[in-house]
Structure 1
Amino acid sequence: MRRLAFLLACVFVCFFAAASDADDRCSALSDALIAGDFSRAEDLANELYVGKSNCSAANLADLAIAYHMLAEKASDAVSRYDFVLKTIDSYRSAAKKDAAEASARFKEKGTDMAAVVADYEANLGEYQKAVADSMNF
């Protein structure tokens, strides 16, 4: 019985550590974007994206917004396309995890991500063409 209690305690500690780590990374990501440090923001966003299963809907909403901002600032077609795809995926993941929490976060941040994602999805062909053109296909 003690082993079971110890195991459960370890699982809870790991879960809360992962959640607080995601919160800390989201805060650092927001700070990097505000400071205009897009290289650092990209690194932090990619770290969060890899561990997105540990993120809350609010974290995923922040990640979608961050990738949207990175897509808007991208200087090349390949990066822009990657950021667009990650924006869409992060948005969908946030909505799937907790639609109400994600919607509240988007509203709090003043971003109509539903419209952004709809626009990205409608123009994916153009982003793909830009990638192909940049590679001289």
Structure 2
Amino acid sequence: LNDAVKKGGVMACNQVGGLSGAFIPVSEDEGMIAAVRAGSLNLEKLEAMTAICSVGLDMIAIPQDTPEQTIAAIIADEAAIGVINQKTTAVRIIPKGKEGDTLEFGGLLGSAPVMSVNKNSSADFIARGGQIPAPIHSFKN
């Protein structure tokens, strides 16, 4: 499944803009803001893009009542993507306001719609306190 997702993403991305490792702030791109407002772009899609053509989640507003375990799980997802793909990944999310609000950051930082976050709890996952293992390159001797 991972291989299929990566290949599909590579085919889509190299036709549009290449595999540039973009870190596009949602708040600074009118097209992305419009896509969020239209319901065409969500947090899960942005996270999936990280696996093939991005280096993280940048300037994404989420509801201020998002549980800290959910935020920790989002960061863990990005860290895992970075480890397995051997690339640096980052997360810059802003928990403020409520879904549907628009946050104004001013200047070059622009504005961002507050995006919905999956309501399923990440508490059990985060409470495990595990570690992200180093990537496995081979099972051969």
Please indicate the TM-score interval, normalised by the length of the shorter structure: 0.3 to 0.5
Greater radius of gyration (CA): 1
Q: Which has the higher contact order (CA 8 A, sep 6+)?
A: 2
Higher helix proportion, which one?
A: 1
After TM superposition, the score normalised by the length of structure 1 is 0.34
After TM superposition, the score normalised by the length of structure 2 is 0.33
